[in-house]
Amino acid sequence: MDTRKNKQRRQQQNEYYTLKEIERLVEQLNYETVKIEIVMPHDKVLMLEKTKHRPIGF
């Protein structure tokens, strides 16, 4: 049973790392809004949504 929990934890860590890498790559783009949705097996959805806020000037 511990092996299954360890496998699930490694998988979650890998998913988190992958999303962070995608986010890092997106930061290199000139964008206003980015929405990325990844549908995984068993209807699990990973989503990255970011909006760059423009500075408010006077």
> Using CA atoms, how far apart are residues 38 and 8, in angstroms rounded to an integer?
18
Percent of the chain scoring above 90 in pLDDT: 40
β-strand partners of 47: 37
Q: What is the mean pLDDT of residues 2-28?
A: 90
Contact (Cβ atoms closer than 8 angstroms) between residue 25 and residue 8: no
Helix residue spans in 1-58 (DSSP H): 2-26
Residue 42 pLDDT > 90: no
Q: How many CA atoms lie within 13 A of 34 on its CB side?
A: 15
Residue 18 pLDDT > 80: yes
pLDDT of residue 49: 92
Residue 41 pLDDT > 90: no
pLDDT of residue 44: 87
pLDDT of residue 58: 65
